[in-house]
Amino acid sequence: MPHDPDTFDWLDVDLIGELLAEHCAAIDPMRVGFVELKRLVQGLPGFVERPGHPCNERILEEIQANWIEAKQGGKKPDEE
């Protein structure tokens, strides 16, 4: 199945981090557990689940790190 350019999935961790920073600006990503993070990602406009691309803890960790970075204006959490 071709990838629709208007959609994204679990593997688009950089984009997801940016979108979470934009759409969930009032939420502190450091205080979000993985269950809630997964729900937030699934609620983003354009998100689709793709067969063969399941969500796992490693992906959620990467999304959370990218979200933190996006909220800090592009700085990695350890560059503060």
* Residue boundaries of the structural domains of the chain: 13-79
pTM of the predicted structure, to 2 decimals: 0.85
What's the rounded Cα separation, in Å, for the pair 53 and 74?
Answer: 26
Provide the CA 29 distance to its chain's centre, in angstroms: 10
Domain 13-79 sits in CATH 1.10.10? yes
Give pLDDT tens digits along the chain (80 positions): 445 678 999 999 999 999 999 999 999 999 999 999 999 999 999 999 999 888 999 999 999 999 999 999 865 555 54
66, 58 in Cβ contact below 8 A?
Answer: no
- Whole-number pLDDT of residue 31: 97
